[in-house]
Amino acid sequence: MPDRHEQRMYLNDVLARAEERTAARLATAADQPADLLTAAARRLREAATHAIHDGRTTWKLGNTLRSKSPVVVDDTTSPTVLIETWAQRLEAVNDYLTLVHPAVGLALADWLANEAAYQLHLAETGHDGAEDSEYALRVARAVLGQDGGQQ
């Protein structure tokens, strides 16, 4: 069985290849709002789904048992997800993480997919409606790491 370092190296390699494929796909689809929205919805849904353990889709503030250090957990009595942050404003970071748990990611993915369907409909009927989905496109760009979400 590979050790942790080997596993981490393998995962980093897989992620790098996936990011390259995504970047190549997006380079050809950057002018198509529906494609951009679909790619972001897919990426967000995948990440949110992989962050769910034991069917728990929300995260809460908690504490470690011994040191009582503040952490983010998916269940305060028997956590399967425990996120420990090291930040100057630890409580603010933890509070934010509890707001953006997997259920929020899944809801945002649904919204982006719905906007993509709307943009497809507009394209099929000969309308240019990218400005109708301006905020969804900003979110999509941010999810995909493009221009900080700006136009």
Q: Are 83 and 97 in contact (CB under 8 A)?
A: yes
Tokens of 54: 């034991």
Confidence class for position 13, pLDDT limits 50, 70, 90: low
C-alpha to C-alpha distance for 55 and 114, rounded to whole angstroms: 24
Per-residue pLDDT tens digits for 85-137:
887 888 899 999 999 999 999 999 999 999 999 999 888 888 887 788 899 99
Domain extent listing, the chain: 32-149
Q: Which residue has the tokens 């995260």?
A: 59
pLDDT of residue 112: 96
Alpha carbon distances (Å) from 26 to 2, 20, 32, 78:
34, 10, 9, 40
User: What global pTM score does this model have?
Assistant: 0.73
Q: Tell me the one-letter amino acid at 129.
A: G
93 burial (CB, 10 Å; 0-12 / 13-18 / 19+) is middle
pLDDT in tens, 20-63: 655 655 555 456 899 999 999 999 999 999 999 999 999 999 98
